[in-house]
Structure 1
Amino acid sequence: MKYLLLKHYRGGPTPVTGYAPLDQWAPERVDAHIQYMRDFADRLVETGEFVDERALSPEGTFVRFDGEGRPPVTDGPFAETKDLVAGWMIIDVESYERALELAGELSAAPGPDGDPIREWLELRPFLTDVPFGGE
């Protein structure tokens, strides 16, 4: 079963996150945080559970169809938003329980003080069947 782990950047410090924004961390703490995620991915490559991952730029654009030619475009999302998707990882595991276990482990990446950050990760299964009528 394939799952998407969405890593959200939540502008802090807040009661939910308890840590400052990444651009306020000491450089060695940022390096440790990123290295933890790289080591995590490397372990999943060895077990055959890793599919892919990417960090996302904080800059983005919203686009939608309006039926009039060129679609409307607006700026955003912005790094200053309360909740921004910062990156993702795709895993391929045997069970939902294993996906939960790995998400919990990834949530333990070190934060600005070196302790586990305990960040919330969004865990979403890939849709395998169309959820509505049809043959």
Structure 2
Amino acid sequence: MAKYLMLKHYRSTSKSLDCAPMDQWTPEEVSAHIQYMRDFGAKLTETGEFVDAQGVAQEGTWVRYDGEGRPPVTDGPFAETKDLIAGWMVIDVDSYERAVELAGELSAAPGPGGEPIREWLELRPVMSEPPTVRE
């Protein structure tokens, strides 16, 4: 088994989606999208492939060690971007191919009019400790 992170991005422009940005959806369309996400997670729980998932707020803060005990804090995530992290899901699957298959299914979450939004998802393997040899 290998763990993968499926990272969802929220884009306030429709350049990368086949639909209007979410802030232009009806409340019913937003609810249908969220229910799809819940149902998808429940299905993966049944197959034993679900690890965790969370949505994240659009607001954020950057913090960095400054060497003097008072970390600087700035607004974030990126003031100049229209692409924000919307949420993530960690899955534990048998293969990279299965991870790609599930990411494709998640990309079909409904948007305006119930049509699949066909969003791009970032898929990354979760790092783990390298195997050790014991004699």
Q: Does the TM-score normalized on the shorter chain lie above 0.5? A: yes
Please give the secondary structure, in 2, of the residue aligned with 1:43. Answer: helix
Q: How far apart are the structure 2 equivalents of 1:80 and 1:34?
A: 27
8 Å CA contact retained: 2:61, 2:77 = yes
Q: How far apart are the structure 2 equivalents of 1:81 and 1:3?
A: 25
Residue 36 to residue 29, structure 1, CA distance change in 2 (3 Å): same
1:23: how far off? 2.0
In the TM superposition, structure 1's runs of 4+ consecutive aligned residues that sit over 3 Å from their partners are 78-81
8 Å CA contact retained: 2:10, 2:86 = yes
1:49 is the counterpart of 2:52: no
Please give the secondary structure, in 2, of the residue aligned with 1:40. Answer: helix
Residue 80 to residue 46, structure 1, CA distance change in 2 (3 Å): farther
Output the TM-score relative to the length of structure 1.
0.89
1:20 is the counterpart of 2:50: no
Amino acid at match of 1:91: I
Q: Which residue of 2 aligns with 1:29?
A: 29
Please give the secondary structure, in 2, of the residue aligned with 1:57. Answer: coil
Q: Which residue of 2 aligns with 1:67?
A: 67
* Structure 2: 5+ residue stretches without partners: 131-135
CA root-mean-square deviation: 1.6
Identity of aligned residues (%): 71
Q: Which residue of 2 aligns with 1:122?
A: 122
* 1:66-105 Cα distance to aligned partner (Å, 9 max, x none): 1122111100126983211100001000000000000000
Residue 43 to residue 96, structure 1, CA distance change in 2 (3 Å): same
